Structure 1
Amino acid sequence: MRILFTAAPGYGLMFPIVPMVWAARAAGHEVLVATTGEMVDAGARAGLPVVDVFPGHDVWAELLRATTSQETTPELKKYLEERGLTEAFEKAPRSGGPFWLFTLTMTEGSIDAGRAFGADLVVHTTDHATGRLTAVALGVPVLEVGNRVSWSSRDGSFRIGRNFYDEDDLTAALRAHLAIPDGVPEVIARIDPRPPSMGGLVEDDVDQVDGLPWWPMRFVPFNGGSAVPEWALQRPERPRIGVTLGTVVPVMSGTSSLSVVVEALSEFDVDVVLAAKETDLADVGSLPDNVRAVGFLPLSAFLPTSSLLIHHGGSGTTAAALHYGVPQLVLPAFADNPMSAERVVDRGVGLSHDPTTVDVEMVRAAVRRLLDEPAFSDAAREVREEMATQPSPASVLERALSAFRG
Structure 2
Amino acid sequence: MRALFCSTDGVSHLFPLVPLAWAMRAAGHEVLVTFAEHTDQAVASGLHIVDVAPGFDGMAIFNKTLEDNPEFAQMWWNETLGDDPSRFALMPAELNRPFFERTFALVEQWRPDVVVYEQTAAYGLIVASKLGVPAVQRNLGIVRTGGLHRAIAALLPDVFERYGVPALADPALVLETVPPSMFPFERPEGEFVRDVVFTGGAVLGDRLPERGDRPRIAVTLGTNRPGTDGLGPLKGLLASSSALDAELVLALGETDLTPLGELPANVRAVGWTPLEPLFRTCDGVVHHGGGTTTMAAIDAGIPQVVGVNPLYPGNETLAPAVRKAGIGIVADEQSIDGDVLNQMLHDESLRANTAAVQEELASLPGPAELVRRLEDLAR
Q: TM-score, normalised by structure 1?
A: 0.83
Q: Which of residues 79, 103, 106 is equivalent to 2:99?
A: 106
User: How many matched pairs?
Assistant: 361
Structure 1 position 6 matched with structure 2 position 6: yes
The runs of 5 or more residues in structure 1 that have no matched partner are: 72-92, 157-161
SS of residue matched to 1:174 = helix
Tell whether the 8 Å contact from 1:341 to 1:352 is kept in structure 2 after alignment. yes
Match of 2:179 in 1: 195
Match of 1:177 in 2: 162
Structure 2 Cα separation of the partners of residues 388 and 375 of structure 1: 20
Structure 1 residues 341 and 33: CA distance shift in structure 2, 3 A: same
Identity %, equivalent residues = 32
Give the AA of the match of 1:196: P
Match of 2:208 in 1: 232
SS of residue matched to 2:364 = coil
Structure 1 position 267 matched with structure 2 position 243: yes
1:255 Cα deviation from its structure 2 partner: 1.0
Structure 1 residues 307 and 209: CA distance shift in structure 2, 3 A: closer
Structure 1 Cα separation of the partners of residues 364 and 188 of structure 2: 22
Give the AA of the match of 1:67: T
Match of 1:382 in 2: 356
Q: Deviations over 1:253-275 (max 9, x none)?
A: 22111122222222112111101
Structure 2 Cα separation of the partners of residues 51 and 282 of structure 1: 35
The runs of 5 or more residues in structure 2 that have no matched partner are: 70-85
Tell whether the 8 Å contact from 1:33 to 1:50 is kept in structure 2 after alignment. yes
Structure 1 Cα separation of the partners of residues 226 and 194 of structure 2: 29
Structure 2 Cα separation of the partners of residues 209 and 294 of structure 1: 37
Structure 1 residues 389 and 200: CA distance shift in structure 2, 3 A: farther
1:325 Cα deviation from its structure 2 partner: 1.4
Tell whether the 8 Å contact from 1:128 to 1:164 is kept in structure 2 after alignment. no
- Matches of residues 277-316 of structure 1 in structure 2 within 5 Å? 277-316=253-292
Match of 1:318 in 2: 294
Q: TM-score, normalised by structure 2?
A: 0.88
1:317 Cα deviation from its structure 2 partner: 1.0
Q: Deviations over 1:308-357 (max 9, x none)?
A: 100111111111111111111111330222321111111111111222xx
Match of 1:27 in 2: 27
SS of residue matched to 2:337 = helix
Q: Which of residues 336, 340, 363 is equivalent to 2:318?
A: 340
- Matches of residues 195-214 of structure 1 in structure 2 within 5 Å? 195-199=179-183, 214=190
Structure 1 residues 151 and 278: CA distance shift in structure 2, 3 A: closer
Q: Which runs of 4+ in 1 moved over 3 A?
A: 165-169, 233-236, 277-280
Structure 2 Cα separation of the partners of residues 341 and 249 of structure 1: 16
Structure 2 Cα separation of the partners of residues 264 and 176 of structure 1: 58
1:113 Cα deviation from its structure 2 partner: 1.5
Match of 1:52 in 2: 51
Tell whether the 8 Å contact from 1:193 to 1:200 is kept in structure 2 after alignment. no
Match of 1:164 in 2: 149
Give the AA of the match of 1:392: G
Give the AA of the match of 1:53: V
Aligned-residue RMSD, C-alpha = 2.3
Q: Which moved more, 1:132-141 or 1:95-104?
A: 95-104
Tell whether the 8 Å contact from 1:188 to 1:400 is kept in structure 2 after alignment. no
